[in-house]
């Protein structure tokens, strides 16, 4: 049962990291596209747009390693502590991404503000002249760019919640591993692993040893040594009426 609990926690943690990887990958893909469109048109790129791409890229790399470490080293004290710290840090990272992409929280109809520019929703994004023979990334209209930014904003909020949950699950996984290591095989858990199943008070065994329990005793009671020491010196003649005296053996002494 204890082993099943550890496998369940690892499965939950792996699933969370997989979803977080998808969230980070979506943000990375969207902003990589935005930056590619702007770079092809030689449009200055704001630092916050580069920051969103950079932070989401680091999150992608981290979640890949997190899945592998959870499968093979999940619950070990050092790695559990490290994962908790990093999960909290990446929750803060995605809070920052949500703040930077907050324009996506608005409406995508009418006049919109997007990473590709501001204007009517049906206007082309990054409307700048380029040479006919130059290969450039196709720019979507500002309405679609707004919806892409909205998607990045939404998944960043989801990632914040998931990383906080991951930190809590990692803490539970670390405690479970320490508990398994502390107790180990014993009669309480049928010599398997873990601390065993907790008994209710009416199921607890009587701790009194059988030899100390009440009832008849088979052992011969011990008397004082003084009462068993002979109270005479030298040879001892059996008193009259004993077995040896009646058979005439007493005269031999």
Average pLDDT over every residue of 53-72: 92
Which has the closest alpha carbon to 48: 108, 104, 115? Answer: 115
- For residue 213, give the DSSP letter: S
Average pLDDT over every residue of 213-223: 55
Does residue 150 surpass a pLDDT of 60?
Answer: yes
The DSSP-derived string for 75-114 is T-HHHHHHHHHHHHHHHHHHHHHHHHTGGGGS--SSEEEE
Cα-based distances in Å from 34 to 43, 143, 221, 226, 227: 11, 14, 96, 105, 106
Mean pLDDT of the chain: 77
Q: What is the pLDDT of residue 200?
A: 47
Q: What is the pLDDT of residues 105-114, one digit of tens each?
A: 888 988 999 9
Cα-based distances in Å from 214 to 205, 209, 217, 221: 16, 10, 8, 16
Does residue 250 surpass a pLDDT of 50?
Answer: no
Does residue 14 surpass a pLDDT of 50?
Answer: yes
Using pLDDT thresholds of 50, 70 and 90, give the confidence band for residue 117. confident
**Cα 186 to Cα 189: distance, rounded to the nearest angstrom:** 6
Across 1-10, 51-60, 80-89, 181-190, the highest mean pLDDT is recorded for 51-60
Q: What is the pLDDT of residue 78?
A: 82
Q: What is the pLDDT of residue 173?
A: 81
**Cα 100 to Cα 49: distance, rounded to the nearest angstrom:** 8
Are the CB atoms for 160 and 95 separated by under 8 Å? yes
Does residue 228 surpass a pLDDT of 60?
Answer: no
Q: What is the pLDDT of residue 136?
A: 64
């Amino acid at each position: 049962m204890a082993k099943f609990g550890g496998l369940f926690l690892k499965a939950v943690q792996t699933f969370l990291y997989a979803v977080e990887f998808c969230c980070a990958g979506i943000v990375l893909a969207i902003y990589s596209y935005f930056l590619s469109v702007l770079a092809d048109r030689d449009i200055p790129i704001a630092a916050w747009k580069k920051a969103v791409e950079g932070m989401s890229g680091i999150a992608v790399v981290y979640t890949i390693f997190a899945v592998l470490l959870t499968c093979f080293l999940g619950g070990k004290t050092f790695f559990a502590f490290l994962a908790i710290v990093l999960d909290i840090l990446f929750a803060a990272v995605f809070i920052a991404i949500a703040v930077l992409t907050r324009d996506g929280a608005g409406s995508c109809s009418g006049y919109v503000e997007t990473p590709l520019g501001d204007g009517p929703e049906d206007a082309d994004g990054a409307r700048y002249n380029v040479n006919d023979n130059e290969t450039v990334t196709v720019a979507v209209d500002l309405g679609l760019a707004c919806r892409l930014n909205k998607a990045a904003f939404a998944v960043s909020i989801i990632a914040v919640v998931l990383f906080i949950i991951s930190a809590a699950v990692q803490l539970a996984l670390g405690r479970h591993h320490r508990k398994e290591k502390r107790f180990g095989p014993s009669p309480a858990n049928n010599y398997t692993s873990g601390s065993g199943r907790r008994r209710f008070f009416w199921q607890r065994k009587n701790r009194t040893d059988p030899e100390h329990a009440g009832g008849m005793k088979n052992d011969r009671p011990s008397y004082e040594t003084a009462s068993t020491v002979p109270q005479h010196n030298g040879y001892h003649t059996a008193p009259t009426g004993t077995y040896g005296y009646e058979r005439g053996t007493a005269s031999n002494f």
